A and B are shown apart, each in its own frame.
Chain A
Amino acid sequence: MNRTYELMFIVRPDMPEEEQDKLISTLETAVTSSGGSVHKVERMGKRRLAYTVRKFHDGVYILLTVEGSGPLVHELERRLRVTEPVIKFLTVRIDEAQKRLDKIKKLREAKRKAPPAPAPAETGGETAAVTA
C-alpha cells in the first residue's frame, strides 16, 4: 500500500546548513528503514513568513516528497515535532490528486489524437438537443 506524501516544514532561519543536511538525512534514513522511498528533496530557501511563528519572521522552507505507508508519516511527523529547530510542518497526501491528473492528461491525449471522431458525434448531439 504505497501512498505518496508531500512533507513541507519550516526550519528556524538561524540554523546552519550542515544541521539542515543532518536533519534531512535523518528523515531519509527513517523513511528507507521502514520500507519507503524518498522521491525528492527541495530546499525552497529562506522566505518571509506571512505571520509570526514562535517569534520568527523568516524561515527556511524544505519540501520532501516521500512514498510510504501511513504509519511512516506518523513517525516522520513525530520526529519533526520533537526536533527543536522545526517550527512548522504540513503533510499532504498527493497520490489521489496525481491519479486524477494522469487520468485527465490521458483523456486529453486521446481526444487530441482522434479529432475527426468526436466532430460528427458532436453535431448529432447538438441537433438532438435543439429538437428536445
Chain B
Amino acid sequence: MADETRTTSAEGSTGAGERPERSSERPPDRGGDRNRGPRPGGPGGREGGRKYFRRKKVCKFCVEKIDAIDYKDYRLLGQFVSIESGKIVPRRLTGVCTPHQRRLSTAIKLARNIALLPFSGRAS
C-alpha cells in the first residue's frame, strides 16, 4: 500500500503538488517514516530510493511516442530486460508507464517464445 502511493506520487506532476500538503506535519521524515512502517523489507527493497524520490524518470515510449511495441525488435526489448538473469525489469526502475509496461511485457514474452530473447540467463 505504501509502495503504491509512493510510486503514483513520483509519476505525475499533479502528484508532486499533492505531496507537500499531505505530509506537511513532518516533511523531512517522509521517506524514513514509510521505511520504518509496517514493511520490514522497505530499505532493502528500495534500490536507490532514499528519503526523497529520485529524479523523475519519464516513460521512454511516451516521450518518443512509440505506440506499437514490436516483439521482433529485440534490441529495444533487450533494454528492459536484466542483463544478468534475463528477467523483465520492474517499471519503478525503468520509469515506464503502466500501459506501456503491460505491452512491453507481452512483447518480451512473445520474443522469448520465438527464441529472440532468453528465458533466463545472459543473452549470448
Contact = CB atoms under 8 A, between A and B. Distances in A.
A44 to B, nearest CB: 8
Interface stretch (A13-21, A29-37, A47-55): A47-55
Interface in A1-22: 8, 10
Nearest to B71: A92
B114 A48 contact: no
Interface residues of B, number: 16
B51 to A, nearest CB: 30
A104 B67 contact: yes
Interface in A38-59: 47-51, 53, 59
A90 B113 contact: yes
Contacts of A79: none
B119 A8 contact: no
A50 B114 CA distance: 9
Contacts of A50: 112, 115-119, 123-124
B68 interface: yes
B88 interface: no
Contacts, number: 34
Interface of A is mostly: strand
A48 B115 CA distance: 9
B110 interface: yes
B118 A51 contact: yes
Contact of B68 (A48, A63, A88, A97): A97
B65 to A, nearest CB: 8
Given A101-B68, A104-B67, A90 B119 contact: no
Interface of A: 8, 10, 47-51, 53, 59, 63, 88, 90, 92, 97, 100-101, 104
Given A88-B115, A100-B67, 14 more contacts: A10-B115, A48-B124, A49-B115, A50-B112, A50-B115, A50-B117, A51-B121, A59-B115, A90-B113, A90-B114, A97-B68, A101-B67, A101-B68, A104-B67
Interface of B: 67-68, 71-72, 110, 112-119, 121, 123-124
8 A-B pairs with the lowest CB-CB distances in the bound complex, closest first: A50-B118, A49-B115, A90-B114, A50-B115, A51-B118, A50-B117, A104-B67, A101-B68
24 contacts: A8-B72, A47-B116, A48-B124, A49-B115, A50-B117, A50-B118, A50-B119, A50-B123, A51-B115, A51-B118, A53-B115, A63-B72, A88-B114, A88-B115, A90-B110, A90-B113, A90-B114, A92-B71, A92-B110, A97-B68, A100-B67, A101-B67, A101-B68, A104-B67
